[in-house]
Chain A
Amino acid sequence: MSALVSLRSQRNWRNAGVLVPGFLLLTAAPALADRLERHFKVEPKAVVTIHNPTGMVTVRAWTKSEVMVVAQRATDRVEVDAEQTGNRVEVVTRQIADNSSPADLKADFEISVPQDTELQIHDDSGGVNVSNVQGDMNVETIAADVTIEDVGGYLTVKTVDGSLQCARCAGRIEASSISGNFRFIDLRSYNVRAQTSEGNISFNGQFLPEGIYQLKNYSGVIDVKFSPADSFDLSARSLKGRVNNQLTLTPSAHHHVASRVGNALFGSMNTGRAKVELSSFDGTINILKRD
């Protein structure tokens, strides 16, 4: 099964104004704005890839066995291709005119997918929002911020400048950035590995039995919130910075006493079922009680 649609051809495109009268103003603007809506029937565990240099990419899960791509390009200096090959849907934004400004190349996407879809998203600048998708996903950006909510698959996020906010994520998480901030909210993940050089990391979530949580930065602040019922082994070190602790820890299996050596802190809460490793080069690590 193969279908190819291109903004350049215009055959499969309808101006926004045709669909919704209120959009007529948009099409009357100097920068021609077009709206694409395409539907692709897919089998379970489909793969959707999106490659968009600039713009917002929003992906939501729905109950239908199809992928719906709605795209809005800023000008006709870019084309958007949406192609299905087997159980894979690829969406690509391409520049088709020389001497275009970055703003000319912007395209925004709203994509609906079955819950078990695997996502691969590359968006240099703009933003990426994903919600309720349970398949694995890989997101790469330069400056685009990434917001992910209620997802369950293996999540890898890599940015240069962009921040990551991950709320109620339940699968394994690997996140890396140079200057992006990470914020993990109500996490239910059993394995988290997050590293940012200059960004801050804020972690508020469950520490599941046998779970591994590794948070690392060079500078900036690492805030981790714990509740008295949490059970974990903790290792927190800041080579040149500070470790601030609000918890009462007991000696862990690997240390005879709950110890504080220089800017490092080791110990256990309860039976130490999860493993928490916090490290920073010259940043501050705050081990906080959850409100």
Chain B
Amino acid sequence: MGMAGCNEFVNRLEQWLEGERPAESAAHLQGCPSCRGLMEDLDSIQTIARSMETDAAPPERVWTSVRARLEQEGLIQGETHGWAGGLRSWLGGVFSPVPRPALAGAYLVALVAVGAALSIPGYRQVNRLSAPAFSASLDSAEHATLAMGDPDPAIAASLEKNLAIVDNYIALCEKSVQEEPESEDARDFLYDAYEQKADLLAEIAERGDGR
């Protein structure tokens, strides 16, 4: 499957996400494992989000990071529009019923999925997600984000040091939740740690994308 096919499919992604199924897109999807993988990722996100409750939305900075990355990749120019705007709108809708503590993991999944979307025209590699794979998603997001680097070595060192601190708390809290599955306090600490990590990764991504 050629690059043009993938690009065309990505350009029509907004329509696809809104439920339209143009014949050309359907045909491309049939024969393109990369784009099929992307759609499976987006379906996974939707499935995860639907299993959650109440109201919240991903922080604005996540979209800022995503938009900067899209611009860097040359997929969009200036304001979010086209399939990127559609993806944002779709993800926003998907995440609207997600509770705040659970959001961290969820929007990391979103970051990974967007990374997968970005990879289609460029690298043809799609990260595969399974519904409960938050830990793997965190690792993927971390790997992708840290690769962006930071122009200021002192700031980079500070961000990495603090990421390690949060990772340590996540490990401790996960252990605590395993030991005391009924403890709401332990879960609260774990969710907060996930949220901190997600926020920190978003900060790193935002900086790496052109500040």
Contact = CB atoms under 8 A, between A and B. Distances in A.
Size band of the interface chain B makes with A: 20 to 34
Interface of A: 53-54, 102, 124-125, 142-143, 160-161, 178-179, 195, 197-198, 216, 218, 237, 239-240, 279, 281-282
14 contacts: A53-B152, A54-B152, A102-B155, A125-B158, A142-B203, A143-B158, A178-B196, A179-B162, A197-B169, A216-B192, A218-B172, A218-B189, A279-B185, A281-B169
Contacts of B152: 53-54, 102, 124-125
Taking chain B's interface residues, is the majority helix, strand, or loop, or is none over half, making it mixed? helix
Contacts of A282: 172
Contacts, number: 63
Contacts of A160: 158-159, 162, 200, 203
Contacts of B161: 161, 179
A195 B192 contact: yes
B119 interface: no
Contacts of A218: 169, 172, 189, 193
B165 A198 contact: yes
Nearest to A160: B162
Contacts of A237: 185
Contacts of B200: 160, 178
Contacts of A53: 152, 211
Contact of B173 (A124, A143, A178, A281): A281
A197 B166 contact: yes
Nearest to B169: A218
A142 B159 contact: yes
Contacts of B186: 239
Contacts of A198: 165
